[in-house]
Amino acid sequence: MIALADCNNFYVSCERVFNPKLENRPVVVLSNNDGCIVARSEEAKALGIPMGAPLFKFKEFLEKNNVIALSSNYTLYGDMSERVMNTLATFTPSIEIYSIDEAFLDFSRLAWVGNDSKKLYDYGMNVRTTVLKWTGIPISLGIAPTKVLAKVASKKAKKSSGVCVLNTKEEIKEALSTFDIEDIWGIGRAYTNFLRKHKINTALELANAPDDWVKKHLTIVGLRIVKELRGEKCLDIDEEPAPRKSVGSQKSFGEPQTDFFVLFNALSSYIDECARKLRKQRSVANIMGVFVATNPFNLKEPQYFRSKFIRLPVPTNFTGELIKYGYALLKDIYREGYRYKRVGILFAGLNSEDSFQFNLFDKLNREKVFKLMEVYDKLNKKYGKGIIKFSAQGVQKEWKMKQEHLSEHFTTSWDDILTINLDNHSFFNNRKGV
């Protein structure tokens, strides 16, 4: 049996852990630069606020309905996700972290649970209760014979007790008969429209479709989904996902920038972020690219977009070395007279840091650099991101994103840790009340 653990309204739940005043109130979380709504509490969904809605179009509506809008705090969400995943890992020897708020758990190795629906349900409730107690994050748990069915069960769980077990043929058939085709994992909008034209509107109707017809119209990938709906296991738990083939970063500035060194500060910070990801998966980059762009939606201003890629002399993940190449690339494509809205970085041609070809004329002491970056990463992880950084990243972030409603970094910054007033047993910090 496979379980899918799905954090409920994850971004909002993270905010509520440290600000209980948000409980039972409509809350939305915004995208980069406070642009669009990317997460909603159940109360916000009940008001009819759509996912992806631009803030400026709904600002009056939010104020009228006392909806709390918060800037996205990805540092907090990432750390809370790690805590949830570490907690889930204590319940099974095999886990696949699927996304920031979802993970598949292999229950097939739990011999004492077996295929007993009652035991599976009780174990699922124990998982759910423990995650909530240890992290403060509510989750839904769907348990079924396959990944696709576990996804179905997880959605059903959200509308019931928080745990749903699809074990018997009767339970699976009943669940699929009312499960809309557009909600099936792996069935996108194009396939949904196609299937509806052929009178297939539920998961059960798709599961009953002939194999040859499914393979012809939905390819072999679609056939695997159909077989999984029937309870036939086709997708295994992937405990070690394949390393990324490329790593990049780009963010829009809060305000357009014209100064070269402001752009370079931003670029250096993005390089540092990507280099850390490379080191985390033990990869080095062969190819590096930088791009700059103005705001394509502001047609009243001159438009400019330029990018440039190079093959690095030696594959590397050393932040200092990559910043040096980034400076040269940015210098080559930067032009005065433009108001730049974004700068970006991309690393490709990734190889394992344990197997790449050295350059005979390389003068950098790679062993020393490796140890330096190891200490660098440990310090930033232990004391908070940015506790130590390269001077090229600058001090004043004039280019930073617009985040007017940002909460504190409660779990990753010493300055933002909540304190307890023992006099009245209430929590307080230096933030403004809601």
Taking only the tens place, the pLDDT of each residue in 172-186 is 999 999 999 999 998
Give 399's pLDDT tier (boundaries 50, 70, 90).
Answer: low
Query: CB neighbours (10 Å) of residue 168?
Result: 12
The per-residue pLDDT for 433 is: 44
Considering the chain, what percentage of its residues have pLDDT values greater than 70?
93
Given a cut of 80, whether residue 191 has pLDDT beyond it is yes
- Lookup result for tokens 């007017």: 404
Q: Which CATH class is domain 247-393?
A: alpha beta
Q: Is 94 helix (H, G, I), strand (E, B) or coil?
A: coil
Alpha carbon separation from 6 to 15, 99, 143, 157, 404 (Å, rounded): 17, 9, 11, 10, 29
Q: Please give the Cα distance from 200 to 378 (Å, whole number).
A: 53
Q: Which residue has the tokens 């040859």?
A: 212
Domain 2-165 is classified in which CATH homologous superfamily? Reverse transcriptase/Diguanylate cyclase domain (3.30.70.270)
Contacts of 206-212 with CB under 8 Å at 24 or more apart are 206/181, 207/176
* Across 3-12, 241-250, 366-375, 419-428, least confident range: 419-428
The pLDDT of residue 359: 67
Instruction: Say if CB 154 and CB 4 are below 8 A apart.
Output: yes
* pLDDT reported for residue 215: 92
Question: What pLDDT does residue 208 have?
Answer: 93
pLDDT tier, 434 (very low <50, low <70, confident <90, very high otherwise)? very low
Q: pLDDT tens for residues 241-278?
A: 677 788 998 888 888 899 999 999 999 999 999 999 99
Over residues 223-233, mean pLDDT: 92
Distance CA 273, CA 247 (A): 10
Specify the pTM.
0.72
Report the alpha-carbon distance of residue 202 to residue 226 in Å, rounded.
Answer: 12
CATH number for the domain formed by residue range(s) 171-230: 1.10.150.20
What pLDDT digit, counting tens, does each position of 290-313 carry?
999 998 888 889 999 999 999 998
What is residue 141's predicted lDDT score, i.e. its pLDDT? 95
Count CA atoms within 13 Å of residue 433 on its CB side: 3
For 275, residues 6+ apart whose C-beta sits below 8 A from its C-beta are 317, 318, 319, 322, 373
Least confident of 72-76, 255-259, 314-318, 384-388: 384-388
- The contacts of residue 77 (CB under 8 Å, 6+ apart) are 10, 11, 14, 100
Is a pLDDT exceeding 80 seen at residue 415? Answer: no
**CA distances (Å), 256 to each of 290, 292, 339, 400, in order?**
18, 12, 5, 10
Confidence class for position 151, pLDDT limits 50, 70, 90: very high
pLDDT score, position 432: 45
Is there a contact between 356 and 284 (Cβ–Cβ < 8 Å)?
Answer: yes
pLDDT score, position 360: 66
**Residue 35 reports pLDDT greater than 70:** yes
| Residue in 351, 345, 313 with CA at minimum distance from that of residue 329 | 345
What does the domain layout of the chain look like in residue ranges?
2-165, 171-230, 247-393
List all residues 6 or more positions away from 31 whose beta carbon is below 8 Å from its beta carbon: 37, 38, 72
